[in-house]
Amino acid sequence: MALPAPTVVLLTDFGNDPYVGVMKGVILSRCPEARLVDLTNHVGPGNVREGAWLLLANYAYFPPCSIFLAVVDPGVGTARKALAVRAGSYFFIGPDNGLLYPAVADAGIEEIIALPVPKHASRTFHGRDVFAPAAARIAAGVPLGKIDTQVVPVVRLKFFRKGRDGEVVTIDRFGNVITNLPPLAQRESYRVQFSHPGGDEYFEGELAYRATYAAVPNAAKREPFIITSSSGTLEVALRGTAAAPRIGVLVGDRVRID
């Protein structure tokens, strides 16, 4: 029985630029049998926290032995480490800037390797010259221990949450505002407060809880509401339009929902 082709899952902030295609080319040149999947290439530019949340919220939906190639790397070319991590049933590759940490901690860290940076590597594109070759080697069956030496991650990113205070972890393409706060049982409405990280509050209101987007009555179409997101956390939305620009929310803002 043939073994399944190795799956490499990309998460980047590269959008539609050719950088994603180039990384795929590097992987396929070294491991032609690899299956390449995009989790997303539309993380906010340089937004490590958003990328970390999307990786944490979604990695477990992929088959065991999947290799996550995550590149949101505003510190590219600096002294920050490049990592390959074996955690649970998965592999994770990316910069040591906190991007990988929530997902690998959740999966259960088993081995961490510092990836070598070749002398010829571009100082602006380690996705191509460092991370993609490492993903190809792991996909081809090379053990982590043969790539370089074991290390401990320096940046241990943790999402802000204290009681019912949390943060906006991502805004999807529909403009829905995803938080890291779980729902409370049997609530018909929630009190919601948004503030900037510095503490300046800019929105407060009592929002109705809806079980589905379609449950919003026509009379309330222009009113933001609360719904449970696909990640199991609370989300602020508007029916048929984007909530984030209407309210003025940005990823990383603080939120209180109770």
Here the CATH number for the domain that contains residue 13 is 3.40.50.10790
The predicted pLDDT at position 3 comes to 57
Cβ–Cβ < 8 Å for 212, 227: yes
Cα of 61 vs its chain's centroid, Å: 13
Q: Rounded to an integer, what distance in angstroms lies between the CA atom of residue 239 and that of residue 139?
A: 43
Position 155 in a domain: no
What average pLDDT does the segment 234-239 reach? Answer: 96
Residue of 65, 58, 63, 69 lying closest to 27 (CA atoms): 69
pTM of the model: 0.94
The predicted pLDDT at position 153 comes to 75
Strand runs labelled E in the chain: 7-12, 35-40, 67-71, 82-87, 90-95, 109-114, 165-171, 177-179, 189-195, 201-208, 225-228, 234-237, 254-257
Residue of 129, 173, 124 lying closest to 25 (CA atoms): 129
Indicate the average pLDDT of the chain.
95
Question: Are 97 and 180 members of one domain?
Answer: no
pLDDT > 70? residue 244? yes
Position 151 in a domain: no
The predicted pLDDT at position 251 comes to 96
Boundary of a domain, candidates 119, 146, 173:
146
Position 159 in a domain: no
Boundary of a domain, candidates 146, 180, 204:
146
Q: 199 versus 123: which is more confidently predicted?
A: 123
The predicted pLDDT at position 1 comes to 43
pLDDT > 50? residue 208? yes
Domain residues for 11? 7-146
Question: Are 188 and 119 members of one domain?
Answer: no
What average pLDDT does the segment 132-152 reach? Answer: 90
What's the pLDDT tens digit per position in 144-198?
888 878 888 779 999 999 999 999 999 999 999 999 999 999 999 999 999 998 8
Burial annotation 135-145 (CB, 10 A radius, 16+ → b, else e): bbbbbeeeebe
Residue 255 pLDDT class (50, 70, 90 cuts): very high
Question: What is the total count of domains within the chain?
Answer: 2
pLDDT > 60? residue 2? no
